[in-house]
Chain A
């Protein structure tokens, strides 16, 4: 008999007899309805407490803010999506301004440019599918247009979050977006930059992923 069948048979024929499944009451995870402003305040507090940086901006002003942020870090290159409106807006913007870094588009399989991705990209910018106020988390569903490594490999990850897409809890976000109906190849909650406390519980950032997480909140 295969190991699969052996294991399943042992589990099915347990000697202890029938097990009853208890009810699960998820109401402890529910929170009162918060306004967008309250959610944003909470989000800002929680993500900043884990070293994330929040910039409140607008549809009209975010590129200016992004340019300032990247200039202050001396970023030379910025990885963008090909199709997403964020990438398109940036491409358009570079036609008549000088203060943005060189734009790189993630439109080829990683194998063809892995070395460059790992060593030459200073920052990556992605969209989000919303945020979670309670834990200061960004929801990302990497896609063909915004591949997984965009938010992981460059030392700076910039995420654009619409304030109107803030949820109070993970539980609420999952239900509102009906995740159970089908999950993408990869889905992520990101709450701050990469960090470790493995050396004597001393926090250090950027151990494997980005050293900085910058959130542009569009109000």
Chain B
């Protein structure tokens, strides 16, 4: 891969200031190309999802999905031990990592032990969490993404802007230009041509890679099986061609039974891209056996915690861990659609990111994430495993201002958003609205002196006229009526 010196874009792969949500969101809002790319893509994904569930009892299916995940979470430690035992029996080596750094070290040490210099990667959001590519690069190991979208994003030195469609923020001509600049392909808007070129380049890499790193969609405890969902075949290549396969996965991905996979798969692909099923559903239960002709001789699984066991402590926050990473919440989010994935500055953008990332980066860093929602509820409505995302957003808003003495905040960095002025305003508001006489007097005065109402109300009147107080409140009119 040719590496030309390029100015680092704001969404470069590491060390993004999550706090700077506002300026990034503003920039995206005023970028017509970004707006158009996301609008078009999200409209398409929403339509496809809808038609994919036609003829289904979707509520019953979502109930099944939620219950499968809740059942797995209820027995999480036992299932992880069972999974470890089964994988080990199957000849797969199991590793445990408390955080992303430890997971990176494990991958690096496996590479070093094999004298591996090149790693080919299948799509894995956990490896994005770990910032694995960056880490391996610093240790002299080249990590190359093979999912076409991830490949494009890596060439651009960016991060994925969507968890399923990483390069969705770019249109064809932007991608064509990028591939031309970085790999020398001709400029073309012919997607077939661009794809065929990527195939050629990546096949070469598959043949020469020392290690393949993939994610996992479901890990089945009863059989010790790793399930991968994909369309391109790069996942199969990654897990079959190199002599060593390392699967990295969050500890919450385990399910008890193989049967569970049927329910979750039915939900996952339809929710994500509106497909009845993806091209490949790849179930791996061991390394190559002695007499087999292909497949990796070594398979490793890295079980990554990275904040999940902390989320697991709280009965309400636990629901965050149901997620099967379909991306439907972002596809249906009116905020995500306007600002795109990079504005969030987090591995997982959109609604799921807003409820998950504060646990990974701290609620002080991630304080704006839970507020970046109108609480319209579209995310919760489409979530295939019924995560009450809006309720969790409200919970995190409460945590970020330490707003509930009855239920003290728990999330790391809580209270960081509590400003003295804002707290005072809400106190005053509460004081007045808890006193009906005072409220009536205040609103009545407001009505009488409504001509003095300010015409400018901050962000509101930037886009709209100020709401107009009525000449008489309803209280007054109802009072007159009863007299």
Is A107 a contact of B240 with CB atoms below 8 Å? no
Residue in A109, A179, A189 whose CB lies within 8 Å of B281: A189
A192–B280 CA distance with the chains assembled, in angstroms: 8
Is A50 a contact of B148 with CB atoms below 8 Å? no
For B257-294 the 0/1 string (1 means CB < 8 A from A) is 11110110110000001011111111111111101111
Chain A binder among B61-69, B422-430, B464-472: B61-69
B136 proximal to A (CB < 8 A): no
> Which residues of the partner chain B approach A72 to less than 8 Å between Cβ atoms?
none
A202–B313 CA distance with the chains assembled, in angstroms: 43
A136 proximal to B (CB < 8 A): yes
Is A187 a contact of B283 with CB atoms below 8 Å? yes
A11–B279 CA distance with the chains assembled, in angstroms: 35
B387 proximal to A (CB < 8 A): no
CB distance from A176 to the nearest CB of B (A): 12
For A46-67 the 0/1 string (1 means CB < 8 A from B) is 1000100000000000000000
B165 proximal to A (CB < 8 A): yes
B409 proximal to A (CB < 8 A): no
CB distance from B294 to the nearest CB of A (A): 4
Closest to B229 in A: A189
> Which residues of the partner chain B approach A170 to less than 8 Å between Cβ atoms?
262, 265-266, 277
CB distance from A19 to the nearest CB of B (A): 4
A15–B311 CA distance with the chains assembled, in angstroms: 11
B80 proximal to A (CB < 8 A): yes
B135 proximal to A (CB < 8 A): no
A89 proximal to B (CB < 8 A): no
Is B292 a contact of A185 with CB atoms below 8 Å? yes
Is A192 a contact of B293 with CB atoms below 8 Å? no
> Which residues of the partner chain A approach B175 to less than 8 Å between Cβ atoms?
199-200
Is B233 a contact of A152 with CB atoms below 8 Å? yes
Chain A binder among B24-32, B195-203, B367-375, B395-403: B195-203
Residue in A118, A192, A199, A206 whose CB lies within 8 Å of B172: A199
If A144-B291, A189-B277 touch, does A180 touch B259 (CB 8 Å cutoff)? Answer: yes
B171 proximal to A (CB < 8 A): yes
B54 proximal to A (CB < 8 A): no
Closest to B283 in A: A187
Is B165 a contact of A198 with CB atoms below 8 Å? yes
B167 proximal to A (CB < 8 A): yes
If A24-B68, A196-B231, A209-B236 touch, does A29 touch B74 (CB 8 Å cutoff)? Answer: no
- In chain A, positions 137-171 with a C-beta closer than 8 Å to chain B are 137, 143-144, 147-149, 152, 169-171
Is A2 a contact of B96 with CB atoms below 8 Å? yes
Residue in B57, B148, B258, B309 whose CB lies within 8 Å of A174: B258
Is B96 a contact of A182 with CB atoms below 8 Å? no
A201 proximal to B (CB < 8 A): yes
CB distance from B46 to the nearest CB of A (A): 12
Closest to B86 in A: A183
Is A185 a contact of B288 with CB atoms below 8 Å? yes
Closest to A2 in B: B96
Is B276 a contact of A46 with CB atoms below 8 Å? yes
B457 proximal to A (CB < 8 A): no
> Which residues of the partner chain A approach B63 to less than 8 Å between Cβ atoms?
25, 28
Is A19 a contact of B73 with CB atoms below 8 Å? yes
Residue in A24, A28, A207 whose CB lies within 8 Å of B199: A207
Is B96 a contact of A7 with CB atoms below 8 Å? yes
Is B294 a contact of A149 with CB atoms below 8 Å? yes
A95 proximal to B (CB < 8 A): no
Interface centre among B75, B96, B260, B294 (most CB of A within 10 A): B294
A134–B277 CA distance with the chains assembled, in angstroms: 10
CB distance from B301 to the nearest CB of A (A): 12
Is A137 a contact of B277 with CB atoms below 8 Å? yes
- In chain A, positions 1-36 with a C-beta closer than 8 Å to chain B are 2-4, 6-8, 10-12, 14-17, 19-29
Is B282 a contact of A194 with CB atoms below 8 Å? no
CB distance from A138 to the nearest CB of B (A): 11
Interface centre among B284, B293, B315 (most CB of A within 10 A): B293
A188–B283 CA distance with the chains assembled, in angstroms: 6
> Which residues of the partner chain B approach A17 to less than 8 Å between Cβ atoms?
315
Is A179 a contact of B195 with CB atoms below 8 Å? no
- In chain B, positions 194-225 with a C-beta closer than 8 Å to chain A are 194-196, 198-199, 202-203, 207, 222-225
A118–B280 CA distance with the chains assembled, in angstroms: 19
B318 proximal to A (CB < 8 A): yes
A10–B192 CA distance with the chains assembled, in angstroms: 50
> Which residues of the partner chain B approach A198 to less than 8 Å between Cβ atoms?
147-149, 152, 165-167, 232
A191–B232 CA distance with the chains assembled, in angstroms: 11
Is A190 a contact of B147 with CB atoms below 8 Å? no
> Which residues of the partner chain B approach A106 to less than 8 Å between Cβ atoms?
293
If A106-B293, A195-B279 touch, does A21 touch B81 (CB 8 Å cutoff)? Answer: no
Residue in A3, A147, A191 whose CB lies within 8 Å of B294: A147
A184–B80 CA distance with the chains assembled, in angstroms: 21
Is B283 a contact of A11 with CB atoms below 8 Å? no
If A170-B262, A180-B258, A209-B232 touch, does A148 touch B240 (CB 8 Å cutoff)? Answer: yes
A37–B102 CA distance with the chains assembled, in angstroms: 54
A196–B293 CA distance with the chains assembled, in angstroms: 28
CB distance from A10 to the nearest CB of B (A): 4
A72–B242 CA distance with the chains assembled, in angstroms: 34
Could you pull out 17 A-B pairs where Cβ atoms are within 8 angstroms?
A7-B309, A14-B313, A20-B74, A21-B75, A22-B70, A28-B56, A135-B276, A137-B281, A174-B262, A180-B259, A188-B236, A194-B232, A199-B194, A200-B37, A200-B170, A208-B232, A209-B232
Which 9 pairs show the lowest CB-CB distances between chains A and B?
A209-B233, A198-B149, A208-B233, A4-B96, A21-B74, A194-B233, A189-B281, A147-B293, A204-B195
Query: Which B residues contact A (CB, under 8 angstroms)?
Result: 37, 40-41, 44, 56-57, 60-61, 63-64, 67-68, 70-71, 73-77, 80-81, 96-98, 102, 146-149, 152, 165-168, 170-172, 175, 191-192, 194-196, 198-199, 202-203, 207, 222-225, 231-234, 236-237, 240-241, 251, 257-260, 262-263, 265-266, 273, 275-289, 291-295, 303, 305, 309-310, 312-315, 318
Known interface pairs A28-B56, A170-B266, A201-B168; 11 further A-B residue pairs with C-beta atoms within 8 A, sorted by A's residue number: A7-B251, A10-B313, A19-B315, A22-B67, A22-B70, A114-B207, A194-B231, A199-B152, A206-B199, A207-B198, A208-B234
